[in-house]
Amino acid sequence: MTASRDATPGPIVEIVDVHQSFGSVDVLKGVSMRVAKGGVACIIGPSGSGKSTLLRCINGLVPIRSGSIRVATFDVHRLHTDAEKIALRKEVSMVFQQYNLFPHKTALENVMMAPIHVLKEDPAEVRARALALLAKVRLAEKRDAYPGELSGGQQQRVAIARSLAMRPEVMLFDEVTAALDPETVKEVLNTIRELAGEGMTCIIVTHEMRFAREIADEVHFTDGGTIVESGPPAELFDHPRKERTRAFLSQIL
């Protein structure tokens, strides 16, 4: 983990006027946002507003139709070959709503796989780091358990450890607590909170408004494929400028 906040100015993630469509359905209609290095951006909004698609565009899982996305030194919209996309994904890691652990591997193996096979790092070194990461997400004693033997919250924390093992510059979280029961939501949020505290750049799609308010440097409210309103959490939650934001927040809070 990169604990030190970099002094270099400028955003680590810069999204400019991104358009995306599935067939004839426009999913993103000109989205722009920037995230500073070490910053935490939360994206909130109703279902189907393009939040998850936006995250998938950032790590190149979904190609964009027009606009530009820059992450660290990568121009994501110009990456075409697999090798180029793989280089990007070493820097940008993603955690999914449904955890998506590899069910045939133990927790420890799940964390170790990518660094060993993708980054080609020394297995002994990776193992030490993986054990440290599992301890960090408070699952050291579950290292030999298979995903099927873990609760949803535990699986999600293994998934976070698995992403961190790649030592990414940016972490993307896609509604990571949406599939969890209320008691286990907390343990996952605590893990993310610690990460953000250590200076990891995080882009978080979430429905947990209190969490977003507490952790975010900037909150983006999306609806219908556009960012309706952005701002510091205190401003956006307490004094929303747009009617649409107000309506959404009044239904949720």
Partner 1 sequence: MTARVPADRLPADAAGAPMAVLLPQATDFVREAMRARRAGMPAWRLESRHGVALLGVFLFGCGWAQAQAGMDHPSIAATIWKWTPLLARGFAFNLAISFLAMALGTIAGFFLGFAQISLLPPVKRGAWLTTHFFRNAPWLVLLFYCMFLLPFQVTVFGVTIPIPDWSKATLGLALPVMANVSEIVRGAMQSIPTAQWESAASLAFNRRQTLWMIIVPQCIKRMLPPWMNLYAILTMATVLASIVGVNEMMTQTQRALSAEARPGLLLAFYSYVLIWFFVYCYPIARWTVRLEARYAVNQ
Provide the β-strand partners of residue 74. Answer: 71
Minimum distance, C-beta of residue 33 to partner 1, in the bound complex (Å):
20
Whichever of 174 and 208 has its CB closer to partner 1, that residue is 174
| Residue number with CB closer to partner 1 (201 or 230) | 201
CB of 87 to partner 1, least distance (A): 8
Nearer to partner 1, 166 or 227 (CB): 166
Residues 87-116 that bind partner 1 (CB under 8 A): 87, 89-90, 93-94, 96, 98-104, 113-114
Least CB distance to partner 1 at residue 104 (A)? 5
Judged by CB under 8 A, the chain residues 161 through 200 that form the site for partner 1 are 162-163, 166
Q: Of the two residues 96 and 237, which places its CB atom closer to partner 1 in the complex?
A: 96
Q: How many residues bind partner 1 (CB under 8 A)?
A: 29
Site for partner 1 in 21-80 (CB under 8 A): 59, 61
Binder among 118, 135, 247, 252 for partner 1 (CB under 8 A): 118
Binding site residues, partner 1, CB under 8 A: 59, 61, 82-83, 85-87, 89-90, 93-94, 96, 98-104, 113-114, 117-118, 147-148, 159, 162-163, 166
